[in-house]
Amino acid sequence: MILIDTHTHLFLEEFNSDVSETIARAIASDVKYFIIPNIDSSSVEPMMNLCNNNKDVCFPAIGLHPGSVKNDYQNELDVVESFLKKEKFVAIGEIGIDLYWDKTFINEQIEAFKIQLLLAKEYDLPVIIHSRNSLNEIIKIMNDKTFDGIKAVFHCFPGSLEQALFLTKKGYKLGIGGVATYKNSGLVKVINEIPLEHIVLETDSPYLPPVPHRGKRNESAYIKIIAEFIASIKSCTIEEVAQITTANACFLFNLKIDII
């Protein structure tokens, strides 16, 4: 069985003392590969160092997180584009709009998101979308024909069943992680109704750990807990969840890996 964590920030300081052990624990739990989304210019170097030191299992994405969008966002996007020209990435991300913490730079967030969608088209890469309290705004933007044909995953999918059905009909993937195990998340209905072919697994570690680890540092080994949770909802085996979601991740990120 092979599982993929399609969203983990293993380069953050929370893992400074034990990142090798964390990766080893994940691999021992059948989580063999990791997609590593960027945050902003300050995180590119540690992210690239992590991926270069673990080339066979860690695959980097490059982007500007909406929480890091300020007045200088164009300078940040220049950094993104400069790395796209010289390094190989599996996605543009983590990008999007976040209206949960602060709406001060909403216009800048929207502009930065649109620019990065265009970069995804230019470089033929999928996007990893952060949509906290902003799913309708993001859907409206992506409905513009300018962005037709872009492959995307809605990271930590926050929406309703109706929104999930709309997005999956357009071919987008839903990132399901530890939040699904929280009692009031509302995601059980989504998971029950949406076919596995539209789902990828993620942790967002070190954040949002699944039950029973809530309140502690999240890590990629917990993907197995999420897979088991989905299997219980869909009355299938964890092996089936692994096989389909891993194939989905390989398709989305164009991963050339052995998943047999």
Domain made up of 3-253: CATH architecture: Alpha-Beta Barrel (3.20)
Q: What's the pLDDT tens digit per position in 5-64?
A: 999 999 999 999 999 999 999 999 999 999 999 999 999 999 999 999 999 999 999 999
DSSP string covering the chain, please? --EEES-B-TTSGGGTTTHHHHHHHHHHTTEEEEEE---SHHHHHHHHHHHHHTTTTEEE-B---GGG--TTHHHHHHHHHHHHTTS--S-EEEEE---SS--TTHHHHHHHHHHHHHHHHHHT--EEEE-TTTHHHHHHHHTSGGGTT--EEETT----HHHHHHHHHTT-EEEE-GGGGSTTS-HHHHHHHS-GGGEEE---BTSSPPTTSTTS---GGGHHHHHHHHHHHHTS-HHHHHHHHHHHHHHHHT------
Residue 102: the pLDDT is: 87
pTM as predicted: 0.97
